[in-house]
Amino acid sequence: MLDRARELGSSTVWDRYDALQPMCGFGDLGLCCDICFMGPCRIDPFGEGARVGACGADADVIVARNLARAVAGGAAAHTDHGREVVAVLHRAAEGSFQSGYRLSDAGKLRTLAREWGIAEAGRADRDVALDLTHAMTLQFGLQQGPLQTALRAPQPQRTRWDAMGITPRGIDREVVELLHRTHHGVESDPVALLRAAMRTALADGWGGSMLATDVQDVLFGGPRAIRSRANLGVLEERQVNLLVHGHEPTLSEMIVAASRDPEAIARAKAAGADGINVAGICCTANEILMRQGMPVAGNYLHQELALLTGAVDVMVVDVQCVMPSLPEVARCHHTRIVSTSPKARVPGAERVEFDPLRAKEIAHEIVNRAIEAYSKRDPAAVRIPRERMDLVAGFTNENLPYYMGGRFRSGYRPLVDAIAAGRIRGIVGIVGCNTPRISQDSHHLALVGELLARDVLVVQTGCAAIASAKAGLLRPEASLEQAGPGLRQVCEAVGIPPVIHVGSCVDNSRILNVCTALVAEGGIGRDLSELPIAAAAPEAMSEKAITIGMYAVASGIFTAFLPVPRVAGSRVVRRYLEQDVEQETGGKFLFTNDVQEASHAVLATLDWKRKALKLAPMMYENGVPAGAARTFVTYEPPKGLESLGCGHAQQRSQARPPDE
């Protein structure tokens, strides 16, 4: 597809990334502060440059503040998504579900109502939904907590949060307070800032994201294991191809329904197509995959490549991870980009503004545009790569017990027994994005492959799950090809893939719920921090990724994060997040650019947790090679920005003042 881009004279994210080299070394280390307008101040605590900003902020404060702002941004994105879907369910219930939305999982609605203390027995679904969504809406403006869904966390973890003062008090409150504390001249203690960032992240993972998952299940149905396909080869040469991209399923679910309408199909046929093919990119793809089995065209770095095929008639985008370059790339062909969210306009794209009360009508309008566009497609310009892979997705914390234990032994006991007996080493959640800084999917696949071979069950969401999907790791047969002997036995016995796809990025909340259920099952840890589990974001790109990492660490989970985020400029920040925080939350980060180091550290963590729990030795000798894992983090300061190859520092030293 990159060759095709060159033929078409189009540039992609990789070209733009290359054109930006060398990137700012100060920024990369987290040492550029643009929080007030005295700056931007770029400081160089390791070399001969300024050691503090104009206000006196040193490297530790600047790095912590920048990181905390990223966490606030990520939490705002996820939790605002949660707010949106709660509002859609509420308005749908107010209008007695005339708008086209319906209650697809009344069972989950009632389970949630009981959890939230809302009367449900003998009441109509609509009334229960109204009360539940009202209570959920209040969680965003809550001032003193508790967040209802955060009460799901095991008590020992919540006790740690209380002791640290990081129990989230309200979803919006934590985002706002973090932005306040990072404003010029407020919080100057880097560790206090990092703790505040964890509190905000917890309001996302155990708050806004968890609400999003729950409400989406109620509205669109709790997922079940479902077959589908992934990669650019899911585009169909002889069908209208409508790609949905972004994050929120409120419109994309309606588009799927509209594409199945016999009248729309007849119109597509009248335009010369064989049918209508709806597929997705990024997390909107994951949402409609999980519930509807719609194919996935790719993860984050595939968004432009899909357009270059010339086979996409309409790409409809909502929020998050949508490159502003899309209309420009789409110009090579007949492809129409349609932006829809009131929060996200894309210059150069067509506009159909989403309104939940007219969702059905809007979905039909978009399908019609795709049919119209199809008739303008140039078949000679179409190049669809043949690659596409079968997959099974649709796992959740609610249905895994059934798939693991079967109808008569449904529960987490079989999984817990397999871990305790040393058949499965542990469970690792691998999540997050792609980035042009890393060859696409290479870290994901290296890490997943290494862990599977060592009997680790992998649970995935987001673009990480799509990377595995494209590589065939979401097929049950993958356990024969890639899993170690213990994991293979379990996967074969119950018929699941060795990599479990649990949904979109907000569905990381499902992973937290699985871990909580494992604690409740008993026998492999009384707290999340004791479980033989870990997390990784091997190709992190977005602010949401660091927010997810923060709530994983705050939840007691060891988390490998690659590439190193902008923390390298501060020893205090690195020492706290990679070492000291473990005393407080039970979890910690490993920041590295080396995927093998990440896999060794993850394996060593699982083995260490197993040993502490006195679990049986692993049945098969396939652990991390002795001495391979880094057991402690060293904090060698960089030797000055010049020696780091910092392009801007070099440019600065060579540059002449403007008046010369």
Using the minimum distance from each CB to ligand XCC, give the nearer residue, 489 or 542: 542
| Smallest separation (angstroms) from ligand XCC to the CB of 223 | 16
| Smallest separation (angstroms) from ligand XCC to the CB of 544 | 5
Residues 6+ apart with CB under 8 A from 210: 82, 149, 152, 509, 512, 513
| Smallest separation (angstroms) from ligand XCC to the CB of 463 | 3
| Smallest separation (angstroms) from ligand XCC to the CB of 433 | 3
Using the minimum distance from each CB to ligand XCC, give the nearer residue, 72 or 641: 72
**Amino acid at residue number 555:** S
CA-CA distances (angstroms) from residue 195 to 92, 174, 190, 286, 425? Answer: 38, 11, 9, 31, 31
| Smallest separation (angstroms) from ligand XCC to the CB of 431 | 7
Using the minimum distance from each CB to ligand XCC, give the nearer residue, 239 or 434: 434
Nearest to 379 by CA among 273, 305, 277, 303: 273
Question: Does residue 353 come out as left (phi exceeding 0), alpha (psi in the -120 to 50 range) or beta?
Answer: beta
**Binding residues vs ligand XCC (CB under 6 A):** 282-283, 299-300, 321, 432-433, 462-463, 504-505, 541-542, 544-545
| Smallest separation (angstroms) from ligand XCC to the CB of 53 | 30
Residues in the chain: 660
CA-CA distances (angstroms) from residue 210 to 82, 86, 637, 657? Answer: 8, 11, 39, 53
Residues 6+ apart with CB under 8 A from 67: 30, 193, 194, 197, 546, 565, 566, 567, 573
Which residue number has the CB closest to ligand XCC? 433
Half-sphere exposure of 228 (CA within 13 A, CB side): 31
Using the minimum distance from each CB to ligand XCC, give the nearer residue, 300 or 561: 300
**Structure token digits, residue 219:** 């509205």
Question: Are residues 444 and 538 in contact, defined by beta-carbon separation less than 8 angstroms?
Answer: yes
**Amino acid at residue number 373:** A
| Smallest separation (angstroms) from ligand XCC to the CB of 122 | 40
Using the minimum distance from each CB to ligand XCC, give the nearer residue, 320 or 489: 320
| Smallest separation (angstroms) from ligand XCC to the CB of 432 | 5
**Structure token digits, residue 78:** 């996820």
Using the minimum distance from each CB to ligand XCC, give the nearer residue, 131 or 539: 539
| Smallest separation (angstroms) from ligand XCC to the CB of 319 | 10
What is d(CA 171, CA 513) in angstroms, rounded to the nearest whole number? 19
What is d(CA 586, CA 575) in angstroms, rounded to the nearest whole number? 15
What is d(CA 330, CA 349) in angstroms, rounded to the nearest whole number? 9
Question: Are residues 219 and 147 in contact, defined by beta-carbon separation less than 8 angstroms?
Answer: no
Nearest to 599 by CA among 615, 623, 579, 583: 623
Q: Is the torsion defined by CA of 443, 285, 383, 233 positive or negative?
A: positive
Using the minimum distance from each CB to ligand XCC, give the nearer residue, 140 or 300: 300
